[in-house]
Structure 1
Amino acid sequence: MITRRLVLAGAAALAFTTSALAADWKAKYPELTFAVVPAENASGVTERWAPFMSYLSKELGVKVTLRIANDYAAVIEGQRAGNIHIASYGSAAFARARLTGVKSEAFANDVNADGSTGYYSVFFVKASSPYKTLDQLKGKNLGLVDPNSTSGNNVPRFELDKMGIHDADTYFSKVVFTGSHENAMLALSQGTVDVAANQWTSDDDSTLAQMLTKGMLKNADGSAMKKDDFRIIHKSAPIINGPYAFNSDLPEDAKAAIVKAFFDAPAKDKAAFDRLSDGQKKGFHPATTKDWDGTIELIKFVDALRKKKAS
């Protein structure tokens, strides 16, 4: 006979078990490291991410520490070593991590303001330049971002190959890895490069848009540059937004808690979420590791290009 006392006892036992499981993973992981690759200067990254780290720490009940990695490779190797528990990946970097055996599991990516979950790789030139197509830039200087950047290296090389430019390093006079999306646009604005690859979702959602809002790009006379001072001369097919991924070896209850905290964020701490997204995103989209299988094929293609050039 099921009595109210038995039901209450069962509920209490379940609550105790759930609490004990949570205590178990928190005892094993009293601190979680969250890694990001800077698309902007380090102080800007800290200002953007710090409120979200505080929110995660509160929701998870353990300290969540932000680590600003030097580059995508540092995130990959950090997760491989188990020193990074959660990471914000670019699509190509996540594909590279999987290809090299890193135990990393995607659980979400960003939802754009228009509800889409993708972006583009574009080639920017200054509007004052004579260049309207990539064909006109042979022998000029190209600014890229990072070898493991999706929109800043891998997709640009794929796009160039489709146009018959199979070796960017010989087609252009110089190919420069600038280190970040911001640096690529700075190099273009200052004339260090004639064309720069970068990420772009819309006129209001891109590295360029963020930099213009901050007044980071200047003309030679010191005046602030505007959107009309730049021109897109090529845009790729849509690229899936990069994932947020945690170590596959984390306990399942820890993973569940992280996922819940992410998806609760826009409502539970709107200020932290808005600061993180700069008002350009509307939330997180559920994702699985397999969503980036297509990106793995892209990375294999770019690797094959490199091997062909080396042989």
Structure 2
Amino acid sequence: MSFAAFARVTLAAAALLLPGAALADFKLDPRFTDANGDMVADAPADTAKQLDPDTLVFAYTPVEDPAVYAKVWAEFLDHLAKTTGKKVQFFPVQSNAAQLEAMRAGRLHVAGFNTGSNPIAVACSGFVPFTMMAAKDGAYGYEMEIITYPGSGIAKVEDIKGKKMAFTSETSNSGYKAPSALLKSQFGMEAGKDFEPVFSGKHDNSIIGVANKDYPAAAIANSVMKRMIARGVIKPEQVVTIYKSQTFPTTGYGYVYNLKPELAEKVKQAFFTFDWEGTALQKEFKSAEPPQEKFIPITFKDTWAVVRQIDDAMGVAYTCK
């Protein structure tokens, strides 16, 4: 089974991130139903089509080294196992496409999809996001930053003209869609015409690439960069920010639509009852700004409205195959 999401850049400048701007008609794949209008797939009414696996497979969005995050998530996955009464396996996905395909094919049951992949995961893979990380006071989010390195000759966004710019993947909000829309609408710059786009595959690859002077510039999620600086992967003086966007929602966590409803409720319970104090998860994500220290409830319909607006501005179409 293959998955394809093709982005067609047909941006109208005035449409980008304007409050109340019209959104493209978001539709789920025809194999899904949405009777209550919440924009996510309903659980199958036929119990024979509901999943109740012996082992729940969990995957975190592939933004950094999967081996690192297997350890970061270990305590939470133990809690998920105790709460659901199931065995739980960490699935180290290497790409957004692999994660989307795994859920669409029924091999992935619980996951965190990155900001830009959430609409595709919902529309084509039956993903039902219900939570994301936030600070203790409920603050959340990250910004897209365009970064370069000292001495690159790039002091402002316009200086990227004629040079290479690194993106992560076409499904990424901060790694491709938002910066592409921004460059087109605010600076009149298009990939392939005004600069040469290259795709690194992951945010950490783009960040390290700029820090090591492999890329003159890159569009990245600053939450990832802050964690890498906190871990000592790069030094803050290796990168310079030349643009910072508005705040976007972070990774959305949820389950596949056809998980048995009783099991889906236990999955929710596991997220909202997890004690972060002293865990590897807290240690890893507290370096974000704002710090990420608990799970809060969200809805795809409301929380991801700004992301769907960017997709609309980008002329994004989802082709589920």
TM-score when normalising by structure 2:
0.75
Q: How many residues align?
A: 266
Aligned equivalents of 1:208, 1:106: Cα separation in 2: 24
Residue 115 of structure 1: CA displacement? 3.5
Q: Deviations over 1:95-116 (max 9, x none)?
A: 12234x3321111011046642
Residue 90 of structure 1: CA displacement? 1.2
AA partner of residue 229 (structure 2): L
1:36 aligns with 2:60: yes
> What SS is found at the alignment partner of 1:263?
helix
Please say if residues 148 and 154 of structure 2, whose CA atoms lie closer than 8 Å, have aligned partners that are also in contact. yes
Residue 123 of structure 1: CA displacement? 0.3
Please say if residues 96 and 299 of structure 1, whose CA atoms lie closer than 8 Å, have aligned partners that are also in contact. no
Aligned equivalents of 1:136, 1:261: Cα separation in 2: 48
Aligned equivalents of 1:81, 1:46: Cα separation in 2: 22
AA partner of residue 302 (structure 1): M
1:294 aligns with 2:306: yes
Find the counterpart in structure 2 of residue 105 from structure 1.
Answer: 128
Consecutive unaligned residues of structure 2, counting only runs of 5 or more, are 1-49
Find the counterpart in structure 1 of residue 17 from structure 2.
Answer: none
Aligned equivalents of 1:229, 1:27: Cα separation in 2: 47
Aligned equivalents of 2:128, 2:183: Cα separation in 1: 31
Find the counterpart in structure 2 of residue 239 from structure 1.
Answer: 248
> What SS is found at the alignment partner of 1:68?
coil
Find the counterpart in structure 1 of residue 175 from structure 2.
Answer: 152
Aligned equivalents of 2:263, 2:104: Cα separation in 1: 18
Please say if residues 266 and 273 of structure 1, whose CA atoms lie closer than 8 Å, have aligned partners that are also in contact. no
1:281 aligns with 2:292: yes
> What SS is found at the alignment partner of 1:285?
strand
User: C-alpha root-mean-square deviation of aligned residues, in Å?
Assistant: 2.5
Aligned equivalents of 2:267, 2:286: Cα separation in 1: 22
2:226 to 209, 214, 226: 209
Please say if residues 55 and 272 of structure 1, whose CA atoms lie closer than 8 Å, have aligned partners that are also in contact. no
Find the counterpart in structure 2 of residue 271 from structure 1.
Answer: 279
| Bigger Cα Rg | 1
Please say if residues 52 and 263 of structure 2, whose CA atoms lie closer than 8 Å, have aligned partners that are also in contact. no
AA partner of residue 295 (structure 1): V
2:77 to 53, 65, 70: 53
1:185 aligns with 2:190: no
> What SS is found at the alignment partner of 1:256?
helix
Please say if residues 152 and 181 of structure 1, whose CA atoms lie closer than 8 Å, have aligned partners that are also in contact. yes
Residue 170 of structure 1: CA displacement? 2.0
AA partner of residue 93 (structure 2): A
Consecutive unaligned residues of structure 1, counting only runs of 5 or more, are 1-25, 201-205, 218-225, 306-311
Find the counterpart in structure 2 of residue 92 from structure 1.
Answer: 116
Please say if residues 154 and 302 of structure 1, whose CA atoms lie closer than 8 Å, have aligned partners that are also in contact. yes
Q: Deviations over 1:167-193 (max 9, x none)?
A: 222211x31111111110111112111
Question: Residues 262 and 114 (structure 1 numbering): CA distance in 2 closer, same or farther, change over 3 Å?
Answer: same
1:118 aligns with 2:141: yes
AA partner of residue 167 (structure 1): E
Residue 253 of structure 1: CA displacement? 1.5
> What SS is found at the alignment partner of 2:246?
coil
Question: Residues 216 and 273 (structure 1 numbering): CA distance in 2 closer, same or farther, change over 3 Å?
Answer: closer
Aligned equivalents of 2:184, 2:193: Cα separation in 1: 13
AA partner of residue 218 (structure 2): A
Please say if residues 145 and 177 of structure 1, whose CA atoms lie closer than 8 Å, have aligned partners that are also in contact. yes
| More contact order relative to length (CA 8 Å, sep ≥ 6) | 2
- 1:11-22 aligned at under 5 Å gives the runs none
Please say if residues 51 and 259 of structure 2, whose CA atoms lie closer than 8 Å, have aligned partners that are also in contact. no
> What SS is found at the alignment partner of 1:170?
coil
TM-score when normalising by structure 1:
0.78
Q: Deviations over 1:65-122 (max 9, x none)?
A: 11121211222222211111111011210112234x3321111011046642211111
Find the counterpart in structure 2 of residue 203 from structure 1.
Answer: none
AA partner of residue 87 (structure 2): K
Aligned equivalents of 2:105, 2:272: Cα separation in 1: 27
Please say if residues 122 and 233 of structure 1, whose CA atoms lie closer than 8 Å, have aligned partners that are also in contact. yes
Please say if residues 144 and 152 of structure 1, whose CA atoms lie closer than 8 Å, have aligned partners that are also in contact. yes
Question: Residues 41 and 293 (structure 1 numbering): CA distance in 2 closer, same or farther, change over 3 Å?
Answer: same
